[in-house]
Amino acid sequence: MRPHRLRRLVPLSAATALLLSGCADEAKKETPDQGTSSVKPSETHKEQKTSPPDSGRPWEPDDAMQRAERALDAHDDDGSDPQRAESGSANIASGVNKTFQAPGKRWYRLDITCDARGVEELTLTLTRGDAEQAYGIGCGDREADQFNIPPGAPFTARVDTVRSGTGLVLWRLNTIAPDDVDGCDDDIDGCGG
């Protein structure tokens, strides 16, 4: 049995504020020439409760954050002993463009997921030096996507923006022992052939 590790959660209030600001911007765009004073918080909240086609569930920031956290936690019992290096979240309208340092001897594993209204997939591009690989990240999946990166030079993770979208991206960068790397050992250089 693996030892229990402390979990560090993304502050829900900060993520919710970020999501609501994106939703308010979207609501302003949809309201012709009424200015910002006419967009009431209750209208913005009501607008968020609309469902994507065929989803069967309303989209709300708090629920989306909880679903994304569960997707990231789905790999907790995979037998590895991940050590949290960094974590974060972003609104899909802003995207992600983050450079990570990758020192040491342990491999890095980027766990990333998205939850959005009306968006099924986002594009993640991993870059290190001249090497670059693009991947699709499924939004609303029960398990986060995982990408292995060997230690070494800094690398960049970029998630393309969806300017008209409402949703979030949640990610965690963990370190894992080289023996715990599952699948491709370098998802930036690529293992397909």
What are the domain boundaries of the chain? Answer: 12-180
pLDDT over 70 for what percent of the chain?
67
Q: Distance (Å, rounded) from C-alpha 12 to C-alpha 69?
A: 11
| Amino acid present at 88 | G
pLDDT of 179 strictly over 50: yes
Q: For the chain, what is the mean pLDDT?
A: 76
Question: What per-residue confidence (pLDDT) applies to 95?
Answer: 94
55-89 per-residue burial string, b: 16 or more CB within 10 A, e: under 16? eeeebebeebbebbbebbeebeeeebebeebebeb
Q: What is the pLDDT of residues 99-134, one digit of tens each?
A: 999 999 999 999 999 999 989 999 999 999 999 999
CATH code for the domain defined by 12-180: 2.60.120.1300
Q: What is the pLDDT of residues 63-104, one digit of tens each?
A: 999 999 999 998 766 667 889 999 999 999 999 999 999 999
pLDDT of 5 strictly over 60: no
Question: What per-residue confidence (pLDDT) applies to 57?
Answer: 59
Number of H helices, E strands in the chain: 3, 8
